[in-house]
Amino acid sequence: MSLTMRPGPLAGSPGDEVNFSIDGPEHRLFMHDFPRRVRARFGGETVLDTERGQLLHETGLLPVLYVPEEDVRTDLLEKTDHTTHCPFKGDASYWTVRAGDRVSENAVWAYPEPKPETAWLRGFLAFYWRRMDAWYDEDEEVRGHLRDPFHRVDARDSSRHVRVLLDGEVIAETERPKVLSETGLPNRLYIPAADVRTDLLGESGKRTVCPYKGEATYWSLEGAEDAAWSYKEPLENALKVAGHLCFDHEALTIEAGPPRGA
């Protein structure tokens, strides 16, 4: 995301405050080595196992892992008639994965005859992430997608005075929030649970997974569904926001003053 979304250099229009120009198409592709072993499992079988994966960054898209054909269990793949065309990469062929009684249709694609400007795609296969049962980065299971090495998450202590109100009623107020900055996203203010009217909150059934922060649990207020979220067991880059809640809902008013001494 950090390279291919504004203001990244591979975005279609990265911005005006630069001292360089890129001589090339507005839609840009950049492929580089992924530094660790990656595996994918489906139906009890390891479908791919590679230490030679490549991350493809493409303007406006999340990075995609491409794997050498030699590192894929091609005996588990069945070619289909499905094809797609990419004006930047060429015509894609597709394969279904079959392992035991499990089938994942058109889960794999490749560019057997890529365009000359992307000839380096020849011999590589890509997988739809959610069509496999599990993915591993080294021996750690990964949820969501592989982490982009150019994407950052930073959580910092702050003395900003933050208030969250619903119809004029204070839901949360603190002078000790955490400011979480994530590449390509606006800053988020995380409030300690002790500074939140948790008696007004009810845990909802919604869950989301961020590859950089972990699994988020959502909380609702009367008249504001899924108004807040928290990470009960955040990943290493977001450990500081454990035990904190972040609010964002159109029904809420969020006031945030400058840090003390600013």
Q: What is the CATH number of the domain that holds 241?
A: 2.170.150.40
The number of domains in the chain is 2
Nearest residue to 241 (alpha-carbon basis) of 170, 182, 161, 173: 182
Q: Please tell me the pTM assigned to this model.
A: 0.85
Q: Would you say 37 and 138 are in contact if contact means Cβ atoms under 8 Å apart?
A: yes
Helix H or strand E encompassing 155: strand 153-157
Is 136 in the same domain as 158? no
User: What single string gives the DSSP state of each residue in 32-61?
Assistant: EE--S-EEEEETTEEEEEES--EEEEETTS
pLDDT of residue 9: 75
pLDDT of residue 13: 67
Is 157 in the same domain as 216? yes
pLDDT of residue 174: 97
Domain that holds residue 164: 153-256
pLDDT of residue 11: 74
Residue 78, helix vs strand vs coil: strand
How many residues does this entry show for the chain? Answer: 262
Residue type, 64: V
pLDDT of residue 16: 67
Is 85 in the same domain as 122? yes
- Tokens of residue 171, six digits: 């839901």
Q: Mark the ranges of the chain whose per-residue pLDDT is less than 70.
A: 1, 12-16, 20-21, 23-24, 261-262
- Tokens of residue 32, six digits: 């580089």
pLDDT of residue 258: 86
